[in-house]
């Protein structure tokens, strides 16, 4: 006798969403230009993966200070977890994909996990419609969609923070002491991904004081902290020698990070004021999703039904932004440092949508117009996703220039004095023109410290090998002596100059910078723009 098949469970749907996300991001990854920080992370990941080869073949030698220094020095200012994971994935994926996609695949898989988990968390508490909307909301945030492709740390730490937060919430009523060890291990891995995770327990503790004053949780927090510190050190071989000195160096790097300014409301700030994170979320998260997130926040009054999940999501958003509200932190590169807030906001938007759908169902039943429910629900989905989807398609792949309807899109944001783009992803658009028109021996200038982006392109055949990349001061590439090296030179000795339209250059001075305001009187040989707003310009012969 055949049994009727039931509807797919939330676990099966979560796995399906994760698979679809991985496919989508893998297919679109080659179009996303290499960004400023990726070369250092890619070099580090590849080096760390090579160390594991030494560990397998010569385990005794692998832990010597000489070998650890050889393989773990690259990008030692940031913790290793994402680079370990991405390096191991790359070691397999490089035989299947192009090098950049292979280096990005580790992060893509983490995003796939995050999307599946986001659906599962919201669907378990609020139903499938809410869960599906939350997952779609996250991927439809153009800035998050862009970062989801990158071999960088911001989205991986967002995934780790969301996972640890859910694990804490899911196990909060279990009294076994060893859950502290499990949570400590998970938090330690998150801390070993990026510094943002250090602040995670603040939100958990606030939620505990407000909604779960069960005193066995105090012991859990203590065990969790000890286990996290041990995990952090255990997974980072760089700390096995000169441990205390290197921990202090790690802390000092973040306390005294080199200055990167921000263009905000037409002024150069270093750092920007306390309200910058709130303004940026308003500016770069689609307006319809922000409205739905506010609707989801209204569900906080239903805390007894969802075990105060909405309150935990709200607190987590605030903790993700908290470190950047003091006006003394070096906040830089627009929204990327508070990327951990995005999954929590997507969850709130999903909860808000689920609440609207539930009300719509009740209304259709009350009016005896049940046939209206499905088409009306579909219409709501279209309304909430159309604007950002259309803009994403038109602007792709330059999604770091996305701004929401709340500020009038990119045109309105530029008029308000917000930064048009950042992080060098537009450089890729200049390469075909240079490859076609450059003379052998021509010298290319780009924003200081971005030379490794061009070197990576040159290493992998996307930029001709008979042209030279300038840098001042002369600094070796992170890819080592086997890679092309920048030569000494500045803007005024260059044959070509690539400018991303990053207005914070207005606030810079010195021979390495020619403020954009001076370039506006010159004619580029090639330009990428959107709705009349330049995003990247290529100039010839500025010397």
Following DSSP, what letter does each residue of 392-422 receive, concatenated?
Answer: HHHHTT-GGG---GGGTHHHHHHHHT--S--
3-state secondary structure of 282: helix
Question: Domain range spanning residue 522?
Answer: 427-540
In a domain, 87, yes or no: yes
Residues 213 and 312 in one domain: yes
Q: How far apart are CA 316 and CA 69, in angstroms?
A: 37
DSSP 26-50: HHHGGGSPP-TTHHHHHHHHHHHHH
Q: How far apart are CA 151 and CA 83, in angstroms?
A: 8
What's the pLDDT score for residue 3?
42
Residues 159 and 43 in one domain: yes
- Last residue of one domain, picked from the residues 274, 309, 338: 338
Q: pTM to 2 decimals?
A: 0.94
- Last residue of one domain, picked from the residues 287, 304, 338: 338
What's the pLDDT score for residue 506?
63
Q: Are 358 and 176 in contact (CB under 8 A)?
A: no
Regions in the chain scoring below 50 on pLDDT: 1-4, 510-512
In a domain, 150, yes or no: yes
What's the pLDDT score for residue 243?
95
Token reading at 136: 């779609």
If you ran DSSP here, which 8-state letter would residue 330 be given?
Answer: -
Q: How far apart are CA 492 and CA 475, in angstroms?
A: 18
Token reading at 134: 């939350």
Count structural domains, the chain: 2
What's the pLDDT score for residue 515?
56
What's the pLDDT score for residue 270?
81
In a domain, 33, yes or no: yes
In a domain, 15, yes or no: yes
Q: How far apart are CA 387 and CA 206, in angstroms?
A: 36
Q: How far apart are CA 394 and CA 531, in angstroms?
A: 10
Q: What is the sign, positive or negative, of the torsion defined by CA atoms of 481, 484, 486, 488?
A: positive
In a domain, 422, yes or no: no
């Amino acid at each position: 006798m055949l049994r009727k098949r039931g509807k797919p469970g939330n676990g099966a749907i979560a796995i399906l969403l994760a698979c679809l996300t991985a496919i989508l991001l893998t297919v679109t990854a080659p179009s996303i230009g290499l960004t400023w920080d990726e070369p250092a992370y890619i070099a580090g990941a590849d080096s760390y993966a090579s160390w594991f080869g030494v560990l397998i073949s010569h385990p005794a030698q692998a832990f010597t200070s000489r070998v650890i220094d050889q393989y773990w020095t690259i990008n030692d200012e940031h913790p290793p977890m994402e680079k370990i994971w991405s390096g191991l994935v790359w070691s397999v994926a490089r035989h299947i994909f192009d090098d950049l996609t292979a280096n990005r695949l580790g992060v893509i898989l983490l995003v796939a996990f995050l999307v599946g988990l986001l659906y599962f968390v919201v669907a378990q508490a609020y139903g499938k419609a809410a869960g599906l909307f939350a997952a779609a909301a996250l991927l439809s945030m153009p800035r998050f969609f862009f970062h989801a492709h990158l071999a960088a740390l911001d989205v991986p730490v967002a995934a780790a923070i969301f996972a640890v937060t859910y694990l804490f919430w899911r196990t909060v009523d279990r009294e076994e002491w060893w859950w502290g060890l499990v949570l400590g291990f998970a938090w330690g891995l998150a801390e070993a991904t990026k510094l943002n995770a250090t602040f995670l327990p603040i939100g958990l503790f606030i939620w505990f004081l407000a909604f779960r004053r069960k005193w066995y949780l105090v012991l859990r927090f203590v065990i969790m902290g000890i286990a996290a510190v041990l995990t952090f050190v255990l997974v980072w071989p760089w700390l096995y020698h000169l441990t205390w000195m290197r921990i202090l160096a790690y802390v000092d790097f973040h306390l005294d990070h080199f200055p990167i300014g921000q263009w905000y409301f037409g002024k150069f700030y270093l750092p920007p004021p306390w309200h910058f994170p709130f303004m940026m979320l308003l500016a770069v998260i689609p307006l319809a999703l922000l409205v739905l997130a506010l609707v989801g926040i209204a569900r906080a009054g239903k805390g007894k039904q969802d075990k105060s999940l909405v309150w935990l999501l709200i607190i987590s958003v605030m903790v993700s932004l908290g470190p950047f509200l003091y006006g003394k932190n070096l906040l830089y590169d627009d929204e990327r440092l508070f990327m951990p807030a995005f999954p929590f906001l997507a969850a709130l938007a999903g909860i808000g949508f689920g609440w609207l759908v539930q009300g719509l169902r009740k209304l259709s039943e009350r009016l005896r117009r049940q046939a209206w429910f499905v088409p009306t629900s579909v219409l709501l989905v279209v309304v909430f996703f159309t604007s950002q989807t259309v803009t994403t398609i038109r602007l792709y792949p330059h999604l770091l220039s996305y701004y929401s309807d709340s500020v009038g899109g990119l045109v309105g944001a530029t008029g308000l004095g917000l930064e048009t783009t950042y992080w060098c992803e537009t450089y890729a658009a200049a390469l075909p023109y240079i490859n076609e028109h450059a003379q052998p021996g021509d010298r290319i200038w780009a924003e200081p410290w971005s030379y490794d982006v061009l070197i990576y392109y040159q290493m992998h055949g996307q930029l001709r090998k008979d042209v030279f990349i300038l840098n001042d001061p002369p600094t070796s590439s992170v890819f080592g002596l086997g890679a092309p090296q920048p030569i000494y030179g500045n803007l005024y000795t260059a044959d070509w100059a690539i400018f991303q339209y990053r207005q914070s250059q207005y606030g810079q001075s010195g021979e390495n910078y020619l403020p954009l305001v001076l370039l506006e009187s010159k004619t580029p040989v090639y330009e990428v723009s959107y709705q009349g707003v330049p995003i990247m310009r290529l100039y010839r012969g500025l010397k």
